[in-house]
Amino acid sequence: MGRNFPLAGLLRLRELQESKAAGELAAANNALRGGHTSIRKVQEAAGNTAQYPVDGATMLAVAASRASTSSMLVELTTLVASLNENAIAAGQEHQRARSEVKALEKLSEKHSMELRIEDLGREQALLDDLGSAGSRGRNS
C-alpha cells in the first residue's frame, strides 16, 4: 500500500469546494439580513410621517408617499423571499459539499489506520526475529 493517501488530491478539491460553498452561504445569509434590514427601515420611515396633514396638498403628498412606501415594501418582500430561497439553496449546497468532505476524511483516516497497522506488523516481525535470533545465540 502506498504511504500517501491516494485520494488526497480529491480530498483537497472537495475541501476547496466546501469552503467555497460556505462562503456562498455566508454571502446569501448576509444579503438576506440586509433585505430584512431594508424592510425594517422602510417600515420605520413609513411610521414617521405626519399624522395630521394641515392642507389638501400635504394630504395628497402623504397619500402618495404611503402608496410609494407600500409598493416599495411589496418589492422588498419579494426580494427577501428570493434571497431566502437563495440562502436555503446555498445551505443545501454547503451541506452536500461538507458530506463529500466527511466521506473522504473517513477514507483518509481508514488509510492512516491501515498504514499504522502495517507499521506495527513490521515492527512486531522485527522484534520476533530479534527475539528468536537472541534465543538461538544463547542455545548454541
pLDDT at 140: 59
Pure H helices in the chain: 8-47, 56-139
CB-CB contact of 6 with 54 (8 Å): no
Task: For residue 66, name the pLDDT band (cuts at 50, 70, 90).
Answer: confident
b/e per residue 114-137 (b: at least 16 CB within 10 A): eeeeeeeeeeeeeeeeeeeeeeee
Which comes out higher in pLDDT, residue 122 or 140? 122
Domain positions in the chain: 8-103
pLDDT tens digits along 8-62? 999 999 999 999 999 999 999 999 999 999 999 988 887 776 566 678 887 788 7
Contacts of 100 (CB under 8 A, 6+ apart): 14, 17, 18
- Give per-residue pLDDT as tens, 79-121: 999 999 999 999 999 999 999 999 999 999 999 999 999 999 9
Q: What average pLDDT does the chain have?
A: 90
